[in-house]
């Protein structure tokens, strides 16, 4: 089955997906932005699963570029895949680490048989990643994953939180 990539404007917490990606932080204990929205809409089950991952796998916090899956609580999605994107001004390799986040999230989705996957603009909010560069990196990384997994049958959606952000993504999709 072929892989597909599309752009959508909206609130990622409302999407019926196999997995939605959370632009989290290393603590995995919630925050603002899309992280806050996912925890608010998904409820305590998500935080409880994150706390368990911290205890059992990452006591020092989620390493940059890594990704972990939890149940999605009250969300219409089945899973939440949490990743900690690079903080643009202080990360030694922001472009490489952003690409690693997208790649690891896709690998974790694939490992969990999640074919319909939605991403927010990882690091493009509080973490200050320029949206044009982030769009280019996201799309190139997703396409590279598709090339490496031609039969994965993934339906990936890049979710923009505004029409202006969607326009940036669409320009890079051409």
| DSSP codes joined into one string, 79-125 | EEEEEE---TTT-SSHHHHHHHHHHHHHHHHHHTT--EEEE--TTSS
Binding status of residue 122 toward ligand APR by CB under 6 A: yes
Q: Each residue of 12-50: b (16+ CB within 10 Å) or e?
A: bbebebbbbbbbbbeebebbebbbebbbebbeebbbebb
CB 52 within 8 A of CB 59: no
Which CB sits closer to ligand APR, 24 or 69? 24
Site pattern 48..77 for ligand APR (x: CB under 6 A): ------------------------------
Distances in Å between the Cα of 20 and the Cα atoms of 59, 79, 88, 93, 123 are 24, 6, 22, 25, 15
* Smallest separation, CB 38 to ligand APR (Å): 7
Distance CA 50, CA 68 (A): 9
Which CB sits closer to ligand APR, 42 or 121? 121
Residue from 102, 119, 145, 161 in contact with ligand APR (CB under 6 A) = 161
Binding status of residue 97 toward ligand APR by CB under 6 A: no
Binding status of residue 25 toward ligand APR by CB under 6 A: yes
User: Is-catalytic flag, 147?
Assistant: no
Residue from 79, 127, 142, 172 in contact with ligand APR (CB under 6 A) = 127
Which CB sits closer to ligand APR, 3 or 124? 124
* Residues making contact with ligand APR (CB under 6 A): 11-13, 23-25, 31-37, 85, 120-127, 159, 161, 165
């Amino acid at each position: 089955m072929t892989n597909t990539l599309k752009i959508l404007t909206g609130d990622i917490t409302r999407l019926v997906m196999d997995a939605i990606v959370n632009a989290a932080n290393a603590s995995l204990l919630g925050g603002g932005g899309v992280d806050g929205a996912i925890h608010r809409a998904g409820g305590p089950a998500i935080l409880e699963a994150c706390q368990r991952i911290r205890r059992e796998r990452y006591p020092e916090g989620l390493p940059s570029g890594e990704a972990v899956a939890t149940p999605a609580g009250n969300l219409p999605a089945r899973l939440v895949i949490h990743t900690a994107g690079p903080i643009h001004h202080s990360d030694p390799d922001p472009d490489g680490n952003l690409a690693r986040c997208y790649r690891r999230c896709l690998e974790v989705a694939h490992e969990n048989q999640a074919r319909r996957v939605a991403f927010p603009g990882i690091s493009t909010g509080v973490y200050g990643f320029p949206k044009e560069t982030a769009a280019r990196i996201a799309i190139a990384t997703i396409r590279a994953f598709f090339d490496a997994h031609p039969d994965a049958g993934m339906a990936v959606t890049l979710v923009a939180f505004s029409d202006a952000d969607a326009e940036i993504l669409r320009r890079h999709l051409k």
